[in-house]
Amino acid sequence: MIDPFGRHISYLRVSVTDRCDFRCVYCMAEDMTFLPKAEVLSLEELERLCTAFVRRGVKKLRLTGGEPLVRKNVMSLFRGLGRHLDSGALEELTLTTNGSQLAKYAQELADIGVRRVNVSMDTLDPDKFRQLTRWGDLDQVMRGLDAAQRAGLAIKINAVALRGVNDGEFEEMIRWSHGRGMDLVLIEVMPMGEIGDAARLDQYLPLSLARTEIARHFTLTETDYRTGGPARYFRVEETGGRLGFITPLTHNFCESCNRVRLTCTGTLYMCLGQEDAADLRAPLRASESDEVLDRAITEAIARKPKGHDFIIDRRHSGPAVPRHMSVTGG
């Protein structure tokens, strides 16, 4: 699949549920309303959709959410998709998780062929963690990380940089994650979805500032390491570990975008920061053969926009797109 700007689309991210067992302050309002179950695709339908994309050349699949591991029976979807790893059609099957259920599932994921997981963790302080996630328990996530490492999974920690919350912790987080052999990626908060009274402008911390602060403690050497994603990676000389920065607001990364995003209702978003979307549920359900679906996928890819235009400043503090990150999974 090649889009109008010559970009090869080889990466599909799938939000398998919009539900979550946490309520992170920058992601959701505490009283979120979730999709009625009837609107959500069955696991079999999700598998069929993902399989259609794999047939069309997708090499990397990431399951996300909401929290992917709270969807009932989600392991059957992982197992089904794992078959494409065995056949060689798919190169990587992975997930982004808050880690709360990893202790339970890490070994099974590894057995299916998952090699790496992204775990979101914004602070190492249990009280702050509870405040930030509203419902989360840091100890439980730590047990999940232990289990994942025992199972041989490589871990990347994703931390959203939040002004006045974790901006004093970057040094400790670098030492901790690199000390455990994990990569760390810092992410700028993106203006997505109404989140209640927490104001975006107050949360927003440009990563250029974070980097200056980090450079007071460490020597950062630019690397050309890429994972096909928007992160720019540095080697931290003192720890030997990798530190990534995802900066949608201060640095636009759209020119190398190779991905599209599917929601749990079968809506395909061609760009995280734009509203245009294609419904794949109707074509999926229209017939048992994939012909109609294939046509809908081709039409959608032909509409992939050049890029997003996220902006947070005093004049633009509302969401740039009304949907929450948990719909498209980040």
Q: Which residues bind to ligand SAM, rule: CB under 6 A?
A: 20, 26-27, 64-65, 67, 96-98, 120, 158, 160, 187, 189-190, 192, 325-326, 329-330
For the bound state, the minimum distance from the C-beta of residue 117 to ligand SF4, rounded and expressed in Å, comes to 13
Contact flag: residue 328 with ligand SF4 (CB under 6 A): no
The answer to whether residue 101 forms part of the interface with ligand SF4 (CB under 6 A) is no
24 binds ligand SF4 (CB under 6 A): yes
Please choose, out of 20-28, 170-178, 259-267, 289-297, the segment that lies near ligand SF4 by the rule CB under 6 A: 20-28
Q: Please report the DSSP string for 76-107 in residue order.
A: HHHHHHHHHHHHTS-SEEEEEE-STTHHHHHH
Could you say which of ligand SAM, ligand SF4, none residue 290 binds, taking C-beta under 5 to 8 angstroms by partner kind? Answer: none
Q: With CB cut-offs between 5 and 8 Å by kind, which of ligand SF4, ligand SAM, none does residue 46 bind?
A: none
Nearer to ligand SF4, 98 or 166 (CB): 98
Distances in Å between the alpha carbon of 17 and those of 39, 143, 327? 11, 23, 8
Among ligand SAM, ligand SF4, none, partner that 28 touches (CB below 5 to 8 angstroms by kind): ligand SF4
| DSSP secondary structure letters along 133-182 | HSS--HHHHHHHHHHHHHTT-EEEEEEEEBTTTTTT-HHHHHHHHHHTT-
Q: Which CB, 67 or 188, lies closer to ligand SF4?
A: 67
102: its two tokens: 């990893």
Minimum Å distance from CB 155 to ligand SAM? 12
DSSP category for residue 198: -
207-210-214 Cα angle (round to 5): 140
3-state secondary structure of 108: helix
Q: Write down the least CB distance from residue 118 to ligand SAM, Å.
A: 7
| Six-digit token string for 103 | 């202790």
* Binding flag, residue 117, ligand SF4 (CB under 6 A): no
Paired with 97 in beta bridges are: 119
Give the nearer residue to ligand SF4 in terms of CB position, either 82 or 193.
193
User: Are 4 and 51 a contacting pair, CB within 8 Å?
Assistant: no
Q: Judge whether 233 and 269 are in contact, CB under 8 Å.
A: no
Q: Which of ligand SAM, ligand SF4, none does 187 bind, CB closer than 5 to 8 A by kind?
A: ligand SAM
Q: Which residues bind ligand SF4 (CB under 6 A)?
A: 20, 22-24, 27-28, 65-67, 98, 120, 326
